[in-house]
Amino acid sequence: MESSGMIFVFLQCYFDNDFKQLPRDCLNDRRKRREIIEYMNTVIEGCNKGRSSQKSAKEAVTCILRYHDVMRDSNSSVCLMGKFHNVLYVALKLCFDWQVKDSGTIGTLLEQIFSCEKTFERLVLGSIFGVRAPYFVSGWKSDFDDPEENLRAVVFFLDHACTANLDFESDSGSQMRMIDVPLESCGCTTPLMLSVQLGLADKVHIFLRFGALLRAGEKDRENVSVVQNIILKLSEFEHRYPFNLIAILQLILRVIPSLTPHLNGMLSYLGDIQQKSLLMKFNTLIEDGLIPLTRSGIIPPELKHLCRCEIRKSLWYNHQLPQGIQELQIPESLRRYIDIMLD
């Protein structure tokens, strides 16, 4: 029997027998998920003789996806949730552990998770709060060993989501990228907005590189945008600003032509006294050197910066941020500039 057939036979027997006997909520426990992951890793390793481990891992993930489809179809196309859905997170971990390269398969996995949950918070929260904290936020412990591995996993799946040209439908019916899918347990805010609110400059940098939008969450339309949020945070301080907030502002200034539209947006919903107060604080940020004149709206932005914004916009529309930057026939220093690695 060929190895590919062996994987399907092994896993089909497992789902028809051992997995069938497990309690419905068994995969809520991370330890049980890890047991199943170890079992499937053993199957993959056992079928690798004389063939690619990539192919074996992809076939194991495909078998899990097929099982999820079958169980959902048996319930009038409604996911049964419990272990019948949580097995997708076993597939998620297998994809990362084996570094599966097939973006089509990974894209299907992400689409199935989103179709049932309407969020990716079980994956993303661990990279923001750490692998233990999400349990208290959403009742789910991350399958990754530490925050760094969880963040690498997020980057891994964002890369594949871009390669697969994935878009997901929001509650309002509009299309959004994986990086902008709201986190249900965090007030439906976006990963970027949450990272700004927590002052996590390293996470903000990664999410901006992947083209995260600067708008607020999908459901709460009264929330200020990411740009407005950081300006308001900085305006609370008197000349001595936290380094992480300064770093976040500098990163945001690399992806927008000017602060003027965002400042006007804030002023539009404030009274006269509040407007004067905000303008004074904004001018203080300029005087303290946090906001360059070329990004403040006082004088035009540099042509180089405007070109960067337009190039990034075009790459975003074509699902090419940030990996498409490396395909540009330009010097490496300009690639790093467009990839907001420097200013």
pLDDT tens digits along 171-207: 888 899 999 999 988 888 999 999 999 999 999 999 9
Per-domain boundaries in the chain: 1-95, 118-213, 226-338
Q: What is the pLDDT of residues 4-35, one digit of tens each?
A: 577 888 888 889 899 999 999 999 999 999 99
User: What does the alpha-carbon distance between residue 73 and residue 80 come to, in Å, rounded to a whole number?
Assistant: 10
pLDDT in tens, 297-310: 889 999 999 999 99
Tokens of 223: 């929330």
- Measure CA 19 to chain center: 30
Cis amide leading into 134 (omega within 30): no
Please write down the long-range contacts of 338-341, taking CB distance under 8 Å and 24 or more positions apart: 338/308, 338/311, 338/312, 339/209, 340/205, 340/208, 340/209, 340/251, 340/254, 340/255
Q: What is the DSSP letter of 168?
A: E
Averages of pLDDT over each 10 residues, the chain, 343 residues: 67 90 93 94 80 86 95 94 96 96 96 96 91 74 91 97 95 91 90 94 97 69 72 87 96 94 80 85 91 91 96 96 95 97 91
Query: What average pLDDT does the chain have?
Result: 90
- Residue partners of 7: CB distance under 8 A and separation at least 6: 43, 44, 47, 56, 59, 60, 63
